[in-house]
């Protein structure tokens, strides 16, 4: 210690703490920088001097998760998953390790079983959504908690808290996210299933085809339409999904397969070069995944069919029957349960104000109910054996302000629709479920015209602005969806 410091060790013991760090418990403030000059080192740590007083130099942050490639949690102590390594939280859209003791958040007693026992083979029989508890997506729960922290309206906060009670799909939209999310959520759902004695259904969206979203810009994927990336799709993505699903055989799983892809094959091959370039990879990718995943007894798959204002016209539905029949046949002996409609879209389930006419460009199926009724007949006529549907009702409870029913980007007037449920409509035995596939609050695409992934639809008059990139949290859109929920919270 320098003699110019007029502070002895005895006097320092009486100094007052002014900041929270390891030295506070000893009665000293924390130095303002972790790079402060070290004047003294003892068993407690490194000491500096500021404002004529000793201060504890902050220790470099480290935790058990860093060697595993994940940061330490800095703002949350809520564990949404626990395994043999420790308790995991979520910050900035990624897993983080929680040091010390952790408390369970909105999914209590779900992730405490570090090594859940995998039971005997589960086999789907009939409606895959029927008779199960729906798994609560921990990532979305964390997003909602962060959204609530930005709210001051007590009524809106109460509605937002309700959102955490309902299930939505987990999107495996990159190879990295698949590796991060698939097994962890399967394991957490299995632990809950073992603890409660009730089967727990987890719904995943398989979404990483080469040349993904060939007719849009906002949600283009990581893999390009070429042979090299097609090989990666198979070996690094589908094969890994297969491996994990083959491990966790005692629980029900539903896969929503590649939103928008086959619908693009029906309508956009002639007018969109990117779709022509992607065609063989879309078709080959579907054949591969159906062969691999469609033979698993505990897995039910639904191929995406766009929505009523995409394939609803007579000629589009007829062509769709041929395309989907061919794709399903190409994946034999794999089986497909059915089809997912309205994924990430806003088309109402029923809209009696719309009819076939100039306002709907003569679409005979101007709402989801009429669309699915028509598609059921057309797909049966096309020779497809298993024709069942689910409808995404996460954002179609309130008629939006779109000038044309085909508008799809961050629509104003959004409202949460019917809650997730099996067999929701009497007399429509082929409608397996209403389900929330697209999480409300996650943006459809950016409104920044200078952004690389800017899509013109996100700049339309009916699109809410300013909007962040696709998949990022959009607080204003989320809050409007709560306000317009139908049925209301």
Distance CA 358, CA 379 (A): 27
Q: Are 282 and 261 in contact (CB under 8 A)?
A: yes
47 known ligand binder:
no
429 known ligand binder:
no
94 known ligand binder:
no
Distance CA 371, CA 364 (A): 8
Distance CA 445, CA 97 (A): 30
429 catalytic, yes or no?
A: no
How buried is 331 (Cβ within 10 angstroms: 0-12 exposed, 13-18 middle, 19+ buried)?
buried
* Closest-CA residue to 289 (of 299, 298, 276): 299
Contacts of 235 (CB under 8 A, 6+ apart): none
310 known ligand binder:
yes
213, 432, 444, 455: the catalytic one is 444
242 known ligand binder:
no
Residues 344, 349, 350, 354, Cα dihedral to 10° = 20
442 known ligand binder:
yes
Distance CA 333, CA 351 (A): 39
* Closest-CA residue to 105 (of 142, 50, 73): 142
* β partners of residue 40: 47
Helices and strands in the chain: count of H runs, count of E runs: 12, 17
* Closest-CA residue to 430 (of 382, 344, 371): 371
173 known ligand binder:
yes
Quote the Cα angle for 193-197-203, to 5°: 30
307 known ligand binder:
yes
3-state secondary structure at position 186? helix
Sheet holding 87-91, edge to edge: 81-82, 87-91, 94-98
Distance CA 160, CA 180 (A): 26
Specify the DSSP element, H or E, that contains 54.
Answer: strand 53-56
Distance CA 159, CA 269 (A): 43
* Closest-CA residue to 189 (of 120, 106, 126, 248): 248
Contacts of 383 (CB under 8 A, 6+ apart): 325
DSSP symbols for 168-202: B-EEE-SHHHHHHHHHHHHHHHHHHHHHHSS-EEE
* Closest-CA residue to 323 (of 335, 307, 311, 340): 311
208, 260, 391, 392: the catalytic one is 260
85 catalytic, yes or no?
A: no
Contacts of 485 (CB under 8 A, 6+ apart): 159, 397, 398, 415, 416, 417
Count the Cβ atoms, other than its own, within 10 Å of residue 392: 29
Annotated catalytic residues are 260, 444
Which residue ranges make up the annotated binding site?
Answer: 171, 173, 307, 310, 345, 408, 438, 442
Which residue ranges make up the annotated binding site for substrate?
Answer: 171, 173, 307, 310, 345, 408, 438, 442
């Amino acid at each position: 210690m320098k003699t110019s410091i007029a502070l002895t060790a005895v006097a320092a013991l009486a100094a007052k703490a002014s900041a929270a760090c390891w030295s506070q418990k000893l009665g000293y403030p924390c130095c303002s920088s972790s790079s402060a000059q070290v004047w003294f080192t003892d068993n407690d740590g490194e000491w500096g001097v500021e404002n004529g007083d000793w201060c504890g130099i902050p220790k470099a942050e480290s935790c058990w998760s860093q060697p595993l490639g994940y940061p330490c949690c800095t703002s949350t102590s809520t564990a949404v998953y626990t395994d043999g390594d420790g308790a995991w939280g979520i910050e900035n859209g990624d897993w983080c390790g929680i040091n010390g003791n952790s408390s369970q958040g909105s999914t209590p007693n779900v992730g405490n079983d570090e090594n859940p026992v995998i039971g005997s083979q589960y086999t789907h029989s009939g409606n895959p959504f029927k008779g199960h508890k729906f798994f609560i997506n921990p990532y979305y729960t964390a997003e909602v908690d962060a959204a609530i922290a930005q709210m001051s309206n007590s009524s809106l906060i109460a509605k937002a808290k309700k959102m955490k009670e309902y299930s939505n799909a987990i999107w495996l939209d990159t190879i990295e996210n698949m590796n991060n999310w698939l097994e962890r959520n399967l394991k957490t759902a299995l632990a809950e299933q073992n603890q409660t004695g009730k089967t727990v259904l987890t719904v995943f969206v398989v979404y990483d085809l080469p040349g993904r979203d060939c007719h849009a810009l906002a949600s283009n994927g990581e893999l390009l339409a070429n042979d090299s990336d097609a090989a990666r799709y198979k070996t690094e993505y589908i094969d890994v999904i297969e491996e994990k699903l083959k491990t966790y055989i005692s629980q029900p799983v539903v896969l929503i397969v590649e939103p928008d892809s086959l619908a693009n094959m029906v309508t956009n091959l002639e007018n969109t070069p990117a779709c022509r370039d992607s065609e063989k990879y879309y078709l080959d990718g579907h054949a591969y995944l159906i062969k691999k995943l469609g033979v698993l007894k505990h897995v039910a798959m639904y191929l995406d069919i766009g929505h009523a204002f995409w394939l609803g016209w007579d000629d589009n539905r007829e062509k769709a029957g041929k395309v989907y029949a061919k794709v399903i046949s190409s994946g034999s002996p794999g089986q497909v349960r059915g089809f997912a409609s309205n994924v990430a879209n806003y088309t109402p389930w029923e809209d009696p104000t719309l009819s076939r006419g100039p306002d709907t460009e003569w679409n005979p199926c101007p709402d989801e109910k009429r669309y699915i009724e028509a598609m059921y007949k057309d797909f049966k006529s096309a020779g497809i054996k298993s024709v069942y549907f689910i409808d995404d009702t996460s954002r179609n409870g309130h008629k939006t302000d779109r000038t044309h029913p085909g508008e799809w980007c961050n629509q104003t007037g959004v409202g949460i629709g019917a809650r997730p449920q099996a067999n929701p409509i009497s007399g429509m035995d082929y409608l397996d479920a209403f389900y929330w596939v697209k999480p409300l609050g996650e943006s459809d695409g950016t409104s920044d015209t200078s952004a690389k992934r800017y899509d013109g639809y996100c700049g339309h008059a009916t699109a809410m602005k300013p909007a962040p990139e696709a998949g990022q949290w959009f607080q204003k859109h989320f809050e409007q969806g709560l306000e317009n929920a139908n049925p209301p919270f």
